Structure 1
Amino acid sequence: MEHVTRIVIIGGGPGGYEAALVAARLGAQVTVVDRDGVGGAAVLTDCVPSKTLIATADVMTTIQDAPALGVDGGTVTTVDLARVNERVLALAAKQSEDITEDLVKAGVEIVRGFAKLAADGGGTVAVEVAAPDGEDLLLEADAVLLATGARPREMASAQPDGERILTWTQLYRLEELPAELIVVGSGVTGAEFAGAYQALGSQVTLVSSRDRVLPGEDEDAARVLEEVFQRRGMRVLGRSRAASAVREGDRVVVTLEDGRTVTGTHVLMAVGSLPNTEGLGLAEAGVQTTPSGHIVVDRVSRTTASNVYAAGDCTGLLALASVAAMQGRIAVYHALGEAVWPINLKRVSANIFTSPEIATVGRTTFNAESGDPRFDVVKLPLATNPRAKMLGFMDGFVKLYARPGSGTVLGGVIVAPRASELIHSVSMAVDLHLTVDQVASVFTVYPSLSGSIAEAARRLHSDHED
């Protein structure tokens, strides 16, 4: 393969900007074409703002749980949503600025506009850019990376108006806390916002088309979260598929497929996402897509068109910023002729930012049963952990999976406050193919939540011995 010197990246989200930084460090001439703002949805409307909002909700949860620890302020704590959202948007904007500054320092050219693939330029790839000022640009590249992300899916019978019927990108415009929020969709996005707004002070109804929240996640973890939701006053409607949502004055009415109705002051439609792949000239360029519109890629991010790569939510591989970034880095490593490890989703760690958080890595019950059912498992309730008792954390558990015989750690699930931080040690064990004995032999602080990880590993060793 010839050495690539010119790379054009369409999209400035994690898949795009991480790839741009790597390519620039390797000496490539890099241009990022972005239309919505550097950082993409992850920084401007999704991960960064939602987790900033959830951080405020976590404070409210701590205050609400404080009496169990003997702390009672004697006053009612309320949330000023306008100030919260002002901070949310300011932090997202600053993160975008920081990423832009990093790109500029690395020598990356940033072009504002809407880009699409053009005709084959005889060994190179041409990209047409419609700039905001009306001028069109034609960029020649040795390789192109498509990192255009995704957007909220909208139902024709529940069209968002930005005021009462909302997508998750529109929530940050609210200046007053919804008194009665209906969340349609019990996947990760729906569960996170439902839990956050319940903590902030809204009365939340969560509408799930399945029989439980988080239907695609670990069943034990989902059960714990649903019990916590209901104990905190949330109304959870299982097996209740929404047919429509309409506004009636200052109220909204959600009609379910079985004819029942749910009313509230606002509704959040969290019913999935769609890839931003329209208008990119994919078919003309020979880039294959799935029936859902996602770009087909292999494990090194190649599409079906020569010298065209894709990364992130537009590929439908796994909708995580970390996965998008890894796909983007792998793409430019491959394009530039560097050594590269194909992406391995068995090593991906993920977190659901509810309270408690749910963190997973590697093989869990959900995918192990369908892929390789031969595993040993131990689950330790968080309520038995001394540090958890001191902090008043009673909901959750640590679960580890290991290969019978060798004791190699295959994966884990942690349901706990700050599970996103605790999962890292399990992620290292999975990535480095450590055994439960190796994990168990590492010193842990006493008392600590991480002590339950070592204890679970010790019990897996004992089970093996038995």
Structure 2
Amino acid sequence: MANGAYDIVVLGGGSGGYACALRAAELGRSVALVERAELGGTCLNRGCIPTKALLHAAEVADQARDAAKYGVRATFEGIDVAGVNAYKDKIVSSTVKGLTGLIKSKGIEIVAGDGVLAGPTTVRVTAADGTVRDLKGQHIVLATGSYPRSLPGLDIDGERVISSDHALKLEHVPGSVVILGGGVIGVEFASVWRSFGADVTIVEALPHLLPLEEESSSKRLERAFRKRGIKYELGTRFAGVKTTQGGVSVSLEDGRTIDAELLLVAVGRGPASEGLGLEEAGVATERGFVKVDGFCRTSVPTISAVGDLIPTPQLAHAGFAEGILVAERLGGLTPPPIDYDGVPRITYSDPEVASVGITTAAARERGYEINEITYDLAGNPKSKILGTQGEVKVIAAVDGPVLGVHMVGARVGELITEGQLIYNWEALPGEVAQLIHAHPTQSEAVGEAHLALAGKPLHVHG
């Protein structure tokens, strides 16, 4: 805009920011999108997309190793890390290119540089060459994302002690790794490195891997990891790390030590809120997160915030939904608030863990009387063909709708979409039981679980 005034200035070109910019442009608003690095943010450049590419390479390695099981003669000769990285980087760069083209085609102005708030309707952008430009917007949307967190006193040096950002750029397969944190990021890297041949130990302070998931899903994953030779120390606190000649020596609170080549710190991601000028602009924060209401409005009427910067699930698809919600609200529509229980969650390890809705514990805490059924994938022919083990667990309110769907097994991330529809449309088990699932597919496991919950089990043992 020649006069420098836009309807909306979006600070951050990741999932939440660019979704907001695209939807706002569709609704006829003039938009400037400020981004200091590549468009696509963490998810596309340092998160979801490159890690899933690595996980696919890991799956191919496992298939090559296990080919004889399927009567196929193949030999596994090792991992060409440069080749794996080239494959991963090509997926990322082609996706960034496509996204950049899409955003430009919608008439959104992309402003490269570091942005900070310079008031309730102004973003000050400093370009790489030092030039400064003020962007005025009737409304500002903060979407600056997150960074890999560490623990107090634990320095990430990028050499021996690394974050997920460094892990994606490794040019060799480490011989051994200790992973601090058994959440999604830690579990996914454990899965990749084990498939690539590394010796892996996860250290998790809470009693289970993926502590936010249904406990039975966590236990299934732990059993599968044990079978794969992935070691883990649960309910165990990290005490410190020293560098050694061969790598690192990680000490635990109980006095034991684990030696490895690398320590991956995967204790979660913190909001990138420092130095944004939030306090000066009057934007309220809590523990670094920007405080928002159910419509992503901050304490300042002209400023909204979305994505990892706010204390909602740190998922790209939650960011997309928040960005769209803000754009529609600013575009004069009346979007409903997001039901975060209805947002699907997937860990892309081998086996995958996927869920939507609430856990058994949460359902009981909320006062529901529940029925639940666990369908073992051992009874599902497609899962047998794929050589995967796991389960589909469905929780329903007595005489009421499905409250949660929890899955473990190969490719269940693709199945959770049906669970997401079941939960969000408040379907009754009997209604889902009426639906006919294609045979032989893994989706039948979802159908079978609902048949059993509706009191007419088919291929269910016990």
Between the aligned partners of 1:378 and 1:65, the Cα distance in structure 2 is 32
Between the aligned partners of 2:190 and 2:168, the Cα distance in structure 1 is 15
Residues 299 and 343 in structure 1, CA contact (< 8 A), matched pair in contact too: yes
Match of 2:379 in 1: 384
Q: Secondary structure at the match of 1:334?
A: helix
Between the aligned partners of 1:85 and 1:185, the Cα distance in structure 2 is 24
- Across the aligned residues of Structure 1 and Structure 2, the Cα RMSD in angstroms comes to 1.7
Code of the residue aligned with 1:79 in structure 2: it is I
Q: CA deviation at 1:182?
A: 1.2
Q: Secondary structure at the match of 1:263?
A: strand
Between the aligned partners of 2:81 and 2:361, the Cα distance in structure 1 is 37
Between the aligned partners of 2:267 and 2:137, the Cα distance in structure 1 is 37
Match of 2:166 among 156, 170, 182: 170
Q: TM-score, normalised by structure 2?
A: 0.94
Q: CA deviation at 1:82?
A: 2.1
Between the aligned partners of 1:21 and 1:231, the Cα distance in structure 2 is 45
Is it true that 1:210 corresponds to 2:203 in the alignment?
A: no
CA gap of 1:373–1:403, structure 2 versus 1, over 3 A, is closer
Question: Which ranges in structure 2 are unaligned for 5 or more consecutive residues?
Answer: 458-462
Q: CA deviation at 1:425?
A: 1.2
Code of the residue aligned with 2:161 in structure 1: it is I
Is it true that 1:409 corresponds to 2:402 in the alignment?
A: yes
Match of 1:400 among 394, 401, 413: 394
Match of 2:86 in 1: 86
After superposition, residues 49-448 of structure 1 pair within 5 angstroms as: 49-73=50-74, 75-120=75-120, 125-290=121-286, 292-393=287-388, 395-406=389-400, 408-448=401-441
Code of the residue aligned with 1:48 in structure 2: it is I
Q: CA deviation at 1:11?
A: 0.4
Between the aligned partners of 1:278 and 1:351, the Cα distance in structure 2 is 29
Code of the residue aligned with 1:37 in structure 2: it is E
Code of the residue aligned with 1:160 in structure 2: it is I
Q: CA deviation at 1:372?
A: 4.0
Match of 2:29 in 1: 28
Residues 377 and 400 in structure 1, CA contact (< 8 A), matched pair in contact too: yes
Q: How many residues align?
A: 453
Q: Secondary structure at the match of 2:174?
A: coil
Question: Which ranges in structure 1 are unaligned for 5 or more consecutive residues?
Answer: none
Between the aligned partners of 2:99 and 2:71, the Cα distance in structure 1 is 44
Percent of aligned pairs with the same residue?
34
Residues 158 and 246 in structure 1, CA contact (< 8 A), matched pair in contact too: no
Q: Secondary structure at the match of 1:139?
A: strand
CA gap of 1:181–1:351, structure 2 versus 1, over 3 A, is same
Between the aligned partners of 1:432 and 1:210, the Cα distance in structure 2 is 33
Residues 216 and 366 in structure 1, CA contact (< 8 A), matched pair in contact too: no
Residues 363 and 403 in structure 2, CA contact (< 8 A), matched pair in contact too: no
Q: CA deviation at 1:64?
A: 3.6
Q: TM-score, normalised by structure 1?
A: 0.93
Q: CA deviation at 1:117?
A: 1.4
Q: Secondary structure at the match of 1:330?
A: helix
Using the TM superposition, name which of 240-249 and 227-236 deviates more: 240-249
CA gap of 1:372–1:324, structure 2 versus 1, over 3 A, is farther
Q: Secondary structure at the match of 1:119?
A: coil
Using the TM superposition, name which of 85-94 and 186-195 deviates more: 85-94
Between the aligned partners of 1:249 and 1:32, the Cα distance in structure 2 is 47
Between the aligned partners of 1:313 and 1:79, the Cα distance in structure 2 is 34
Between the aligned partners of 1:262 and 1:84, the Cα distance in structure 2 is 28
Between the aligned partners of 1:84 and 1:50, the Cα distance in structure 2 is 11
Deviations 1:270-317 (A, max 9, x none): 111111001111112121111x20011111110111120000011021
Match of 1:461 in 2: 454
Q: CA deviation at 1:399?
A: 1.1
CA gap of 1:244–1:86, structure 2 versus 1, over 3 A, is farther
Q: CA deviation at 1:155?
A: 3.2
Residues 168 and 269 in structure 1, CA contact (< 8 A), matched pair in contact too: yes
Code of the residue aligned with 2:262 in structure 1: it is H
